[in-house]
Amino acid sequence: MEGGCTCGAVRYRLESAPMFVNCCHCRWCQRETGSAFVINAIIEASRVTLLKGAVEVIDTPSLSGKGQRISRCPACHVALWSNYSGAGPKIHFVRAGTLDDPDAFPPNAFVFTDSKQPWVVLPPHIPAFPDYYDMKTLWPAESLARRAVAKGE
C-alpha cells in the first residue's frame, strides 16, 4: 500500500496493514485538517518506507499539551504522518487520506466524539468514545504485541 503528498515529491509505502485506525473528531484535528475529522492509520515507523523524497518535521502544539511532530512534504507541505509524545517516534500516525487508496483502512474507533461536528453521523458498528479509549481493552492482542515490540517494551 503506497501513498504520498499532493505534489508527488514524497512517496511512501506501508509494509503491512496498520495496527489500528483512529478517526479523531477533536477540535485540534479539525483545525489541522480544515475538516471534520482526521483518519490516522497507526503503524510502526519501521514499516513505513520512504520511496521518494524526504519529509520535513514540524513541531506542532497538540491537545495533550505535549506537542506532536508532523512530517510534511517540504514542497507542498501536505501532512503525511504525525508522531505524538505518548506513542513516541517509533509509532507513526499516518494520515489515511494520503494513501493512494484512502478507502483501504476504515476506522476501528472514533475518538473525541464529544466535539464531533453535529452533521457527522457515525456508523453504529464501530466503537465511539467521547474522549479516548483504553488501548489494552480495545486493540487486538496482535496489535498490542506489535506496538510493544516497536516501542521496545
* Residue (131 or 145) nearer to Zn ion, CB: 131
Stretch in the footprint of Zn ion (CB under 5 A) among 69-77, 79-87, 132-140, 142-150 = 69-77
Which 8-state DSSP code applies to residue 34?
T
* Residue (93 or 139) nearer to Zn ion, CB: 93
Distance of CA 54 to the CA centre of its chain: 18
Q: Give the separation between CA 124 and CA 104, rounded to whole angstroms.
A: 20
Among 51, 58, 76, 126, binds Zn ion (CB under 5 A): 76
Sign of CA dihedral 94, 88, 37, 75: negative
Residues in region 21-40 near Zn ion by CB under 5 A: 24, 26, 29
Stretch in the footprint of Zn ion (CB under 5 A) among 9-17, 39-47, 87-95, 141-149 = 9-17
Q: Binding of Zn ion at residue 87 (CB under 5 A)?
A: no
Grid coordinates representing 23?
478517526
Q: Give the separation between CA 108 and CA 126, rounded to whole angstroms.
A: 6
CB of 150 to Zn ion, least distance (A): 21
* Residue (10 or 14) nearer to Zn ion, CB: 10
β pairing state of 79-84 and 68-72: antiparallel
Among 9, 50, 128, 144, binds Zn ion (CB under 5 A): 9
Give the three-class secondary structure for 150: helix
Q: Binding of Zn ion at residue 75 (CB under 5 A)?
A: yes
Q: Binding of Zn ion at residue 128 (CB under 5 A)?
A: no
Closest by alpha carbon to 91, among 20, 10, 151, 134? Answer: 151
Q: Which residues bind Zn ion (CB under 5 A)?
A: 5, 7, 9, 24, 26, 29, 73, 75-76
